[in-house]
Structure 1
Amino acid sequence: MQVFIKNMVCDRCKMVVKSELETLGLHPISVELGVIELSETKITDAQSSSLSRRLQELGFELLEDRKRQLVEAIKTTVIELVHRDNDESKLKHSEYI
């Protein structure tokens, strides 16, 4: 199952979110900027509520709306584009996105 999280912008964010998931008894397979892959196929309402509350305390936000997930994915792509070495690729930014 995928979980989308707003405001993840660095490796430290990934470490903090992974730690919180594990504290709540969830099992992350991968933790990337803005998206988490869990081994669980579904999480309970109580787990979702606890996760949402804890993420807000840490400055993140659980995204459940599909449009907001898309916006966050685009923002994450732009952040990755800015942080990578532009000499490696001759792609235009619009092509990369």
Structure 2
Amino acid sequence: ELNYKISITYGSVKVAQSTTSTISDIFGPTVNRCFKINSLCPENGLIIDNNLYNNLKNFVEYDILQLSETEIHKKYGYTIFQVKRKN
């Protein structure tokens, strides 16, 4: 069985290409935010931050539910939403 937690944020990132590897790396505040909110994601779920929510809120194919106030919100001010496919 494969379990997953997916967190998605919206914003700009920096890309770094190593001279010793063919793999690029991304970094910046958007990547950091995505990492921080991932711990709040339920198993086999998808969460997004308020930046992405503002771009997706009119998609009627999904239920987008704001999670109650979390430690992440208290510490960083991030509002987090869980995305579920409508039944």
TM-score, with structure 1 as normaliser: 0.31
Question: As a proportion of its length, which structure holds more strand?
Answer: 2
More helix, by proportion: 1
